[in-house]
Structure 1
């Protein structure tokens, strides 16, 4: 599987109704969106020793041990440390990865950093100059970005997304593409075009039929989940057999199903056949059959144990997206590290009890105090 280090994947929007994703409302910033609120730090050079800290390494829980931050990576030699921190038997987890965001300005990256997200996947890019700037912000959340989203005319996405008409898909030969969306043939062509260029494809589908189209196309990942009907087992098994993974975004789905103002904006009506209990049940079915589910702007994933939820936000997305330098705590990996004051395996909400945040060995000091 290819790396996400350049323009990493094609986003295919197969939605009958658009979703409560940030970019649909456009961006009218009150200030320069590229302006940093914090100063740019120097690249890290010092060695930090964290003693007596319980570690979740991305896969399993380890007994208390010492962890070394050696510049920008995790080291294995604690001699001549410049700083020693007593871990107090607290918890250390890899920096979480958010697999579905819409970053539109640098202040969004600073907010992600405050809330301990050290890597984020930006699900579309309408300005490549800005996206390149987002990818090179030392000491802030590391950003990987998709390109221009594939959207068809007359779809909800076309109505709510600030995208020029000239950039909408109108012909199968363009292979860059939503009921009123792309046909199965267009979806298939978009995925083939991505794979032929060594890129992953990411498909957004929030209704049952488009979700089936996404499965049939063998797209790499399917974002969102549908809530008007229950997931049929044959489609679950096909998704698993094809190695596709899911980014369900349950928090966003809950907000869209419960808020009539959001529903009217996205669908043009307050009526919906989708319900949060079905959204949640469908995520549970994905997990139970063994489809890999990763975290993307989710409060939690239905049916997951705490350790599974933490894997879904650390080692699993790193593995699925071929990010071999992060997602786990091991020598040689990026020093994306989050010490927690409370045990996340007692309650997953304890991941909000943040002590410190290191992003590639650089401490982000303006940490959110949520506990």
Structure 2
């Protein structure tokens, strides 16, 4: 046996030995080996290999890894194993949203506007309620906006507001105390989107919020939709922009500024198409890989449309061109559905977002990275987003080869969150029952 293979097998054996001494509720942790499978590890493709999982962690991965004795072995011939998907722009439409996200292969969602009341005004992160094993992991960010601006229009939602840099200090402090993993700002006057201008943070207030968040070791993302507003947030030090561009295409100097600042972009193509009257309801209804898993509430969201006049000047073709230029310039692009908006929904819209990213010029491999390793890196999630020893066993097994055809990513064989497999058949049955009864599953 080759020396490198001997070393790797020795490491696997040690890991399994350690796992065998860890007792769970039912005894020794079981070991799962998925073999003969194409592996996209979040960054590269292994044409055929094996992944070994136990105790919620990945123990080994590679072309020269063999299933250990006593392991449950799953043959992945003709299939591809991916890291669990990360939806980098998510809004829950209710408690079932996290369950739906997992059923579509998203093991982690980044909530871009967690309700303050749901977090608990001064609850430390360690005491926040965790999502259940049949739900996607929810990493939340609280939103800071201007009084009367976007984010304040939702009934029953407590949005943090600021009108001065000093008020930013208090708002950020409150968000951090509530357990916010990052801060989201609204810096958007509605130009090119809404019929009339809307309130937004003043530039010096926006900059003050970024400074206050960074002082507390929190990254900042911004809801901005024009090149001018996005540029101003970059000049203030923002870490990421969580929408595409409305209005004219930014110039090369703007792209260079993105690169210089090391900022990322979540273009949210699906919601921009929906706002421009180019929704994807029919695509979902005609796709048997998606439609049976769409809950009644999700179907209702897909059927909704934006108010008349909203998005009249949006140009999805410009947004796709912008996305292509981002990739060409080397700007990290992240996949995010912006679910819980008219015309988009949890899970199914993330897969449509992946399709739109490919249509915008990303390769399927770049697109899969945009939904796995790239958001994990951007949001400093060092325990997920890749298939590598020691990381969480968040996995998505699909038929075919999504590194060639991104639509294969929706042909799901299995989803594992921290090594626990979701019963998708039971979930599908619950959706069917809910439709028959006209209720949520």
In which range does the TM-score fall when normalised by the shorter chain?
0.7 to 0.9
Counterpart in the other structure of 1:251? 270
Counterpart in the other structure of 2:54? 70
117-126 or 175-184, which moves further after superposition?
A: 175-184
Superposed displacement of residue 136, structure 1 = 3.8
Counterpart in the other structure of 1:88? 77
Q: Distance in 2 between matches of 1:311 and 1:286?
A: 15
Given that 1:64 and 1:89 are in contact with CA atoms closer than 8 Å, whether structure 2 keeps it comes out as no
Counterpart in the other structure of 2:218? 199
TM-score when normalising by structure 1: 0.80
The answer to whether 1:293 aligns with 2:333 is yes
Instruction: Flag structure 1 segments of 5+ consecutive residues without an equivalent.
Output: 1-40
Q: Distance in 2 between matches of 1:120 and 1:241?
A: 27
* Partner secondary structure for residue 208 of structure 2: helix
Counterpart in the other structure of 1:190? 209
81-90 or 133-142, which moves further after superposition?
A: 133-142
TM-score when normalising by structure 2: 0.68
Counterpart in the other structure of 1:25? none
Higher-RCO chain (CA-CA 8 Å, sequence separation at least 6) = 1
The answer to whether 1:98 aligns with 2:111 is no
Question: Higher helix fraction: Structure 1 or Structure 2?
Answer: 2
Superposed displacement of residue 129, structure 1 = 4.3
Compute the RMSD of aligned alpha carbons.
Answer: 2.6
Q: Distance in 1 between matches of 2:139 and 2:149?
A: 27
Given that 1:44 and 1:362 are in contact with CA atoms closer than 8 Å, whether structure 2 keeps it comes out as no
Q: Deviations over 1:287-320 (max 9, x none)?
A: 1111111111123322100110011111111112
Counterpart in the other structure of 1:347? 405
Counterpart in the other structure of 2:371? 313
Counterpart in the other structure of 2:243? 224
Q: How many residues are treated as equivalent by the alignment?
A: 324
Counterpart in the other structure of 1:150? 144
Name the CA shift for 1:156/1:70 in 2 (closer, same or farther; >3 Å): closer
* Partner secondary structure for residue 270 of structure 2: helix
Counterpart in the other structure of 2:395? 337
Alignment of 1:1-371 (within 5 A): 45-76=29-60, 78-129=67-118, 135-147=130-142, 149-160=143-154, 162-164=156-158, 167-175=160-168, 176=171, 178=187, 179=189, 180-258=199-277, 262-264=305-307, 269-270=309-310, 272-297=312-337, 298-299=353-354, 300-301=356-357, 302-366=360-424
